[in-house]
Structure formats: structure tokens, C-alpha cells
Chains A and B, each alone.
Chain A
Amino acid sequence: MTITPERMTHLKRLEAESIFIMREVAAEFKNPVMLYSIGKDSSVMLHLAIKAFYPSKPPFPFMHVNTTWKFREMIKFRDDTAARLGLNLISHTNQEGVANNINPFDHGSNVFTNIMKTDALKQALTEHGFDAAFGGARRDEEKSRAKERIFSFRTQNHGWDPKNQRPELWNLYNARVKPGESIRVFPISNWTELDIWQYILMENIPIVPLYFAKKRPVVERGGQLIMVDDERLPLLPGEVPEMKSVRFRTLGDYPLTAAVESEADTLEEIVAEMLVARTSERAGRMIDHDEAGSMEKKKREGYF
């Protein structure tokens, strides 16, 4: 009997599409970078990059924009991963923000995110002269993301103009930029949250332990559970950290990322929980709640 090619299931098709996009970027840009945010989407993106260029290593560096407010377990995971895979990892922090002690409590999540994430990212892109930056955003995350191109053009100021994006047909991506301009590339645009989890399960991809339920110290604020990851979290009058079995559906800065109560401590249980979930994952990210259309506004300013 003749052996026939493997059937292209939806996950295989998504995987092949992402690999295709990464190879285009590696071939067409002078100085690309992959943004690595340590979360599950980044873990999948990194895994796909390893696959895309095998047996070569990914021909670009990885960059983490560190706000200094990440969970400690995330930083450990990041450093372990970089060492295990021999990655060229750049960590960038907005030093001006650090000098001014910009933090989410005194300045609010909007100002904090703007300075420590958006500005920091722009600084780093300019400093290194990157002409393409991979990001792990997905179109199913949020309404304004649903219209994002896979190759999203940014001006010299890193601005995004939703009305002035290039038409994107077939898999023919226009990668041409002038000096100073850049393209944000979203290779996992067409994946959904469920696809991500299934792929992690299928490929056995390592993820940060914070995704798994464990007894952790938390306080309840405005109906959301905030983990007391270090002593920098100012406790309000009457607040006493409690040990609860919690996990995170999305990861970011610990004071801005809410935990959910859960007993799910295996990948299978996480996926099961996901299947019955009644809130979308971004609900755990407080920056989206600040104002209507806030994601669109942040993106125009250069946020991922």
C-alpha cells in the first residue's frame, strides 16, 4: 500500500500557516525580533519558531519587555526556557519609568501600561532598529483584534492606523518597509484560545506553573482576586491575604492580572475548565476595562 501524506486537521493547518509566516519574515526582513511575553501564547509561538527553522535555530533574537511587575515565577520560567533552548534573549525595561517609580498603584493601570509597556516597547524597537516584530496576539481575543492584519504596518513612530493598512490577500505578505518603519507580525492570528490549549496538550509544550491551580496568597479587590506576589503590593485597610487554590487564565503584571479560583492542576483539567468557562480570558486583564474601545486606542498608540 502506498503511504499517503498526513491528513491536514485544523491544528495541522494552523501550525503550517504559522510556520509559513515565520519563514517569510526571516527571509524578507533585515532585523526581525520575536516578542516573548512568557505567557501560553508566547510559549506556542516559540515552539512554532523552533519547528519552522529546524535544524537551524530561529534566526532572530527574542525580546521580553519587562515592566518589573511580572510574577516572579514568570521571570524564572523565562530564564530557564532561554537557557534550555539556547535563545538570544533581550530583556528591556523602561529605565526612565523605573527612575520615576512608575507603578500601577500610584499611577493607575492606564498610565502604567503606557509608560512601562507601550513606551518601553517603542524604545526597545527603536534602539535595536528592528524592522519586524512578532507578537502573539490572536484575532479571537478582542473585537478590534479581529480586523488586524497578519502583517500590521507601523509608521516610524510605531503608530497603527486602522484605516491605512495594506490589503492582505492569499499568503502574499507585503514585507517592504522604509528605514524606521516596521511591521508587527502576528503568526498565530487565526488560533483560538481552545486551539492554543489543545496544541500545548498535543505537543507537550512547557508553560508557566501559574496556569495550574495551587494554594496562593490572594486578596479580593473589586470582585477580582489579586495575588500577593511580593511585598510591593500595598494592602488596603482590612485586607488580609488569604491562601486560596487559584490559577491564572492569562498572565501579565501581577497587580493587574486577576486569578480565578480553581482546582485544575493538570493540562487536561485546565482544558476542561476552559470548555465550560463563561467569561472570556481578557476579562482577567484590567487594562481592557478602563474605557470603551480601550484596546483600539492602545493599539493606535503602539501597544501590541
Chain B
Amino acid sequence: MNAIVAEKMETQALIDYLASHEQKSLLRFLTCGSVDDGKSTLIGRLLYDTKLIFEDQLASIEKDSKKHGTVGDDIDLALLVDGLQAEREQGITIDVAYRFFTTDKRKFIVADTPGHEQYTRNMATGASNSDLAVILIDARKGILTQTRRHSFIVSLLGIKHVVLAVNKIDLMDYSQAVFDKIVADYKAFAADFGFETLQAIPMSARYGDNVLSRSEKMAWYDGPTLVEHLETVQIDQDLSDKPFRLQVQWVNRPDLNFRGFSGTIASGTIRPGDEIIVANSGKSSTLKSIVTYDGELPVAGAGQAVTLTLADEIDISRGDVLTGKEARPELSDQFQAHLIWMSDQELIPGRTLLIKIGAKTVSASVTEIKHKTDVNTFANLAAKTLKLNEVAVVNVALQEPVAFDTYADNHAMGAFIVIDRVTNLTLGAGMIDHGLRRATNVHWQALDVNKATRAAAKNQKPAVLWFTGLSGAGKSTIANLVEKKLLSLGHHTYLLDGDNVRHGLNKDLGFTDADRVENIRRVAEVSKLMVDAGLITLVSFISPFRAERQMAREMLADGEFIEIYVSTPLAVAEQRDVKGLYAKARAGEIKHFTGIDSPYEAPESQQLTLNTATQAPEQLAEKVVTYMIEHGLLGDGSDYMI
């Protein structure tokens, strides 16, 4: 481009040029392949051939080529794109990098993603915003396991357009037979992936054959070059023809006279006068105006960021989905989805997580892993947990119903991310397959006799005293003393501990992380019922994970959950070893023993800390009772009758 533009460009010519540039469309694509396939070299070649490398950048690469380069005295174009110092030194690309180039017809954003198996999550990240994928194959090696993996992930993320870049064909004497065989092999296994276009191109990124310019060495190939194809491929942009959806991001309220709902139209087209339904509540109104800084619009379609005002005052907030009368989204609190796990921390079914879908963030849990899929062989395997980079089909239950479409129908309405609610890390990404309906809708009965009346009858406030700490810390000893004291004060109590729960209700559970989570989930549910019965419930469990204790806290009303950290140094607990368990764990006879080969996450937001190394159990039990009195938990319960 730049080369074509003359040094002294006439103003009119420039204005014409800019006008044509303004009308360009945008294509986002990703490149998948490993370093060995020449992926970085290909991107370097695209930038170089479209003249997007400036002289100072080129000088810097020449300097780097001598230091890190892998192609002898030539300029190593790959160095242009391998960004971070650490990976430049290791010679691998470990993260998604975004590159930009433009031709006379289109502007391109390239997601440059690493190809190794351990970087499945990075590839999925790059694919999530792409319309097309360039899958690189080394002509010397043909279809490899990684080619299958890349194609699977590309298809999983719903990409419909694929370029098969058969690279390094120069090293195979520009052979048509080699190319034809690779293409035939590829088509055989990719037939089920639902790609709408599949363009195979023989090329040499290192020498530039069939990248921008046509190769003189492959007269037998009469298809487009890579750039020609990228410039002309028709990407399905029919989102404006689909049913109307807008996920409300922000309520726009500058003053009392204006109330608008800001968001980007996910799909469809709207005009003032159209009927608008709030998918989450079913309430309806009429579209009054489409407001933008550049004036009100007579019509707006998919991709436009707008602010809508309605004819009626109806309750709408962030996360609600606005839709038309016809073809409304599904509203459900359960769905089946494909899930890609992106964290070192395993997915354990039953654990409470956060899910962000559109502008809505809700508590949720994976209720079942139906099966995981081997990304290399596509085989479906049974799984109890999911590890980093694993892909599975799961059922998800949400705390409240949300409006969604299937991912296949509408990416913006069917995609979600999974967030850890303690660490706030993004743990995974999902694509909704379809909603699930409960066989029977279990609604809570609004009973005349309720928690408040039951508590009043017992003249107390119900609460959970949750004792957590290492095995042998002294939890049960203290809890027993507290229960005795409460009983002597005339209160109604119950103590849940390992002895009365693990032998009955939870006897099917072992000590893996997954079983520990389920163990605590059940104990939390039981204690919730006990609180509902009006009891002061003492729970004495190691409960090693913060997330589960947080889950128990959130099941109860504010102030009902009192977390008590029974703090004992591991060495002290191990020295006591009342039940001889530490000795067995050290000997390897017990696996997954907390403090030895399974972690204990100390509380960060506990109400009380009991230090058993400095005080006797009797004193500590007294401290708990004092806390309850000071916080009004042992009052007559009359103020609970609201």
C-alpha cells in the first residue's frame, strides 16, 4: 500500500483514497500452527509484503536476527511477531498476540495463537473473536495430531471458514502430488466439522510464494493466493436478519427526563415503534427512539452500540435482554454446554462458581460432567473432574434463570465465561448447546409456619457456628463444650461432625478434592435445614477450602453464619495426633490428608479465631458464647419476628 502512495500525494487523490479506505470491511482471523510450521514467519511475511514494517522496526529485527535468529544470515521474519522477551529467548510463542495489516480491500486483525496442546486455552481465546482460521501444515509432515486438534477447537468455537495453508512446500520441490495428498487427507477427517468454506493453498512463507504474490514455481496451482482469498472470502454477516437481541449494559439516566438502555445490538434490526419485550421478566413496551451522539436513528442493526428509550416505564436493569415479540430467547436456570477448562485449579462438579453471560453475572455450578472429549482423537471419555485445557460437555445449574440462545444460533447470546468467586480468576469458557428443563418444577412453598415462627417458639435466633481447622486442632472438643453451655442456657442445638455425618449421610464419599467438596455441600445443606428448623447448629468439619465455606455462608441469611477458625500449627496438631491419623498419612497409608498432601486454606473473613496453642478448650468455648451474647444471638428472638 505505502509503496503505491506517492511521496507527494495530491489532496484529491488522498481524499479519494481515504474515502475508499473508510469503506473497507474488517476481517478477523486466527492462525494456528506451531513454531515449526512457520506460523510466525507467515505473519511476518504478511506484514512485510503489505509493507507494514517500518524501517526502524526492520533495523531492530536485523539486530535481533543475529542474536536469536534461526535462519542464518537472512532476516528472520518470525522475530517480528514473537513479542515478549521470555518467549523470544525460549523460541516459542506462549500467548495470543494481535497483528494488524491492511490491503486496498480489507483491514485485517490477526490473532496469532500458539499451537502446542498445553495452549488450547490460548487458541480458543484467539478463535472466540475470529471469523476465519488459517490452519498451518508443514508440507514435509502432512496431517499431524495437532492439525486435528486445531481443527477441532476451531470448529468448537463455531468458525465456519478455514484456510489450509500447506507451508514449506519449497522443501518438497513445490510438488503437486504432496499438496493433493495432504488436502485429501484433511478433507477426509474434517468432513464433520461444518466448515462452510475450506480453501487449501500451497505456500512458502519464507520465500513469499502464494502469500501475497502468486508463485512462479507452482504453475499447477490455479487457486487464489492467501491474501487474495482473505480479501474476497464472503463471511456470513446475516446477524441483522436474525431475531432482535440487545443485552443491556448500562442504564443511561442523565436526569429525571431521560431513561435509556445502552448496549450493543447482538442480532436483528429495530425501528422506533417496534414492540420490545424484556426476556427476563416478560414485560413489554414500544421502542420510542434509538439515541446516539450523532443523532437519533430511524433503524439500527447488529453490531451497533446504541441507547434505546421506551414508551413505558418498565423495570429494566443491567443484564436484562431486550428482544422482539417473535422468536424470544430461552429463559432457564439449567443448560447443557461445551466447556473449555482454562485453569490449573480443577473443575469440581457441585462447587459454586460465577458465570458471566452477556452483561449478567450469576452464581452457578456444574452439576454433571457428561463426558470430556480428547482434543486429539475426538474420543469421548468419562470424567469426574476437568483439568487445564480439557474440553467437556457439562450440565450447568444457575441460581436464577437467565435469557440465552444456543451458541450455534447466536454467539453473543450463547457464550459464557466461568469465574472463581474467591480468586476472581477466569477459569473456563463455555458455549451453550441447549436449555434443560427440570422434570418437575420444585417451587418453594410459602408455609405459614416458617423459620421465624419456629425460632420464636424456641426463644432463640437460629445460626450456624462453623468450626474449621486442621485435623486434631480441637474443633470437636470445643464445639462439644459450646453445645453443653448453650444447652445449659436453655437453647436448642445440634452438632454436626464427621462422626455422625460421614458414617451415614456421606458414607459414599471419600477424600478426593471432589468428594470433599460434595461432603461440605451436603453438610451445608443440612445445616441450612437445621437453621430453618430454628436450631443453633454447630458444624465441626475440617472444611479445608474457602470456596465451600463461602458457599455455606451464602446459603444462609446475613449474620446467620459464624465462621470460627480453630487455629493450631500443623506441628502441634501432628504432635497431638489423637487418632493416629497423621502418622498413617506420613507413612503413606492415608492419601489426601489435609495438611500433609492436601491443602488447607485458612479463613480470611472469619468472625472468630481460636488459638489452641495458647488457650485451653474451656476458655475458648467461653469465648464463643461471649461472642454470641455480644452479637445478640442468644436474645429472646423477638426481633427475629419481622
Contacts and interface: CB of A to CB of B under 8 A. Distances in A.
Interface of A: 3-6, 8-16, 19-20, 23-24, 26-27, 50-57, 139-140, 143-144, 146-147, 162-163, 165-172, 174, 176-178, 189-190, 192, 194-195, 198, 201-202, 268-269, 271-272, 275-280, 283, 292-293, 296
B377 interface: no
Given A16-B304, A56-B253, A166-B426, A4 B269 contact: yes
Contacts of B303: 8, 12-13, 16
A26 B14 contact: no
B137 interface: no
A169 B56 contact: no
A23 B249 contact: yes
Contacts of B81: 143, 146
A258 B301 CA distance: 44
Contacts of B23: 9
B232 interface: no
B5 A275 contact: yes
B22 interface: yes
A149 B429 CA distance: 16
A123 B473 CA distance: 43
Nearest to A148: B98
A6 B2 contact: no
B423 to A, nearest CB: 9
A277 B54 contact: yes
Contacts of A56: 252-254
Contacts of A283: 54, 56
B24 A9 contact: yes
A140 B47 CA distance: 12
Contacts of B357: 172
Main secondary structure of the interface of B (DSSP, over half): mixed
Contacts of A51: 292-294
B250 A5 contact: no
B521 interface: no
Given A8-B303, A13-B26, A54 B291 contact: yes
B291 A20 contact: no
A27 B359 contact: yes
A192 B100 contact: yes
Nearest to B107: A10
Given A272-B9, A296-B84, A170 B301 contact: no
B425 interface: yes
B132 interface: no
Nearest to B112: A146
Contacts of A16: 264, 303-305
Contact of B26 (A4, A10, A167): A10
Interface stretch (B193-201, B393-401, B412-420, B631-639): B412-420
Given A166-B426, A276-B5, A147 B304 contact: no
B376 to A, nearest CB: 21
Given A277-B54, A279-B56, A178 B424 contact: yes
B292 to A, nearest CB: 7
Contacts of B419: 174, 176
Contacts of A189: 98
Contact of B2 (A24, A140, A143, A276): A276
A147 B96 contact: yes
Contact of A271 (B14, B258, B263): B14
16 contacts: A6-B300, A8-B303, A19-B264, A20-B249, A50-B293, A51-B292, A56-B252, A144-B85, A146-B83, A147-B96, A166-B426, A167-B124, A170-B417, A176-B419, A201-B18, A272-B11
Given A147-B83, A272-B14, A176 B424 contact: yes
B560 to A, nearest CB: 24
Interface of B: 1-2, 5-7, 9, 11, 14-15, 17-18, 21-26, 54-57, 64, 81-86, 88, 94-100, 102, 106-107, 109, 112, 121-122, 124-125, 128-129, 240, 249-250, 252-254, 258, 260, 262-264, 269, 271, 291-294, 297-305, 307, 318, 342, 354, 356-357, 359, 411-412, 415-417, 419, 424-426, 429
B415 A172 contact: yes
Contacts of B24: 9-10
Nearest to A5: B301
B308 to A, nearest CB: 13
Contacts of B57: 280
Contacts of A296: 83-85
Nearest to B307: A54
A280 B54 contact: yes
A185 B99 CA distance: 19
Nearest to B108: A10
Nearest to B266: A171
Contacts of B100: 139-140, 190, 192
A8 B250 CA distance: 22
Nearest to B258: A55
B359 A279 contact: no
Nearest to A283: B56
Contact of B318 (A27, A172, A194, A195): A27
A176 B264 CA distance: 22
B84 A170 contact: no
A170 B129 contact: yes
Contacts of A20: 249, 264, 305
Nearest to A277: B54
A168 B127 CA distance: 11
B254 A55 contact: yes
Given A27-B359, A170-B411, A296-B85, A10 B25 contact: yes
Contacts of B263: 23
Contacts of A194: 21, 102
Contacts of A277: 2, 54
A157 B7 CA distance: 48
Which 10 residue pairs spanning A and B have beta carbons closest together?
A5-B301, A10-B26, A280-B54, A176-B424, A169-B128, A56-B254, A19-B305, A54-B293, A143-B83, A51-B293
A162 B98 contact: no
Given A5-B240, A167-B429, A271-B14, 14 more contacts: A6-B304, A9-B26, A23-B305, A24-B359, A57-B254, A147-B83, A166-B426, A168-B125, A174-B417, A268-B11, A276-B5, A276-B6, A278-B54, A283-B54
A12 B265 CA distance: 13
Given A140-B100, A170-B411, A170-B415, A27 B249 contact: yes
A198 B21 contact: yes
Contacts of A178: 424
Contacts of B254: 55-57
A279 B26 contact: no
